[in-house]
Amino acid sequence: MREQTIADSFEFSGIGLHTGEHATVRIFPAPAGKGIVFRRIDLDNFELRADVASVARVAYATTLMNRGVWISTVEHLLSALYGVGIDNAYIELDNFEVPILDGSALPYVEAIARVGIVKQSLARQHIRIIKEFILNEGEKTLGIYPADTFSIRYDIDFAHPLIGKQSLDVEFTGTNYADLIAPARTFGFYYEVEKLQASGLVRGGSLENAIVLTQTGMLNDTSLRFPDEFVRHKTLDLLGDFALIGQPVLGRLVANKAGHALHTRFAGELLESKSHWTVGSRTEVPVSSAR
């Protein structure tokens, strides 16, 4: 299988979930071998690669930084690109934070489906897991195991009547990402809003871009997109953080009560643990696609 990029550019404008500031993000095709590269067009087109070396902060979102230049809340966009198999793209942003849109990755996936995907000249390299690798942080666990495909199992447990214990097991082939993961929206608890805003977070949060939970239900007047939308969104986030590895992976990810901090730490330490994986090309590597 060869590397892929988008066939044409597309853009979105909106507010950042945490800053509340308006931003426009434009995604362009990039040459084979380039990877995913952000450009801050408000800062002389400063480039910042989407990789684990750039991770700077993971408080309720994943933030990248290089030489004092920040780009925040990148996980939904990176999840969409990784989930549908985009290896190379330029992402231009005119502010600090990627717009949150509807709180999911669906707008990006739909845009990719509209413009199309093109194959490129280079053979796609993949990481094959050959020995299990596991990290634990208290009750949080994240591991990856050898497999011939790429799949994720995620388990969460929240003391809330709409969530409770939820589990999801999905293999990323065909349109599984677009159909099963991309539509799931971010969520938060209303009782935490004041404290988070005092810390400079969720200043752009609203019922249009997040599921807001009360003690017994939710404030949104729309129904959930899936009965287990919460664990699906955690899977979306994990995939966006795991995308910072920079290559497709053959392995089975298993997560329990994890979050951005563990996701990004895991990606970085896995890359450093070279005895646990090999790199090679494979023509039949399964990959999800946009609808």
Query: What's residue 284's pLDDT?
Result: 44
pLDDT in tens, 64-104: 999 999 999 999 999 999 999 999 999 999 999 999 999 99
* Residue 285 pLDDT exceeds 50: no
* pLDDT at residue 179, as a whole number: 98
| Catalytic machinery residues | 260
Domains and CATH numbers, the chain: 2-123 (3.30.230.20), 125-281 (3.30.1700.10)
- Cα angle 232, 141, 180; round to 5: 15
- Whether the per-residue pLDDT at 183 is higher than 90: the answer is yes
Which pLDDT score is estimated for 202? 78
For the stretch 226-251, pLDDT in tens is: 999 999 999 999 999 999 999 999 99
Are the CB atoms for 135 and 19 separated by under 8 Å?
A: no
Q: List, in order, residues 6 or more apart from 227 with CB less than 8 Å away.
A: none
What does the mean pLDDT of the chain come to?
A: 94
Predicted pLDDT of residue 287:
53
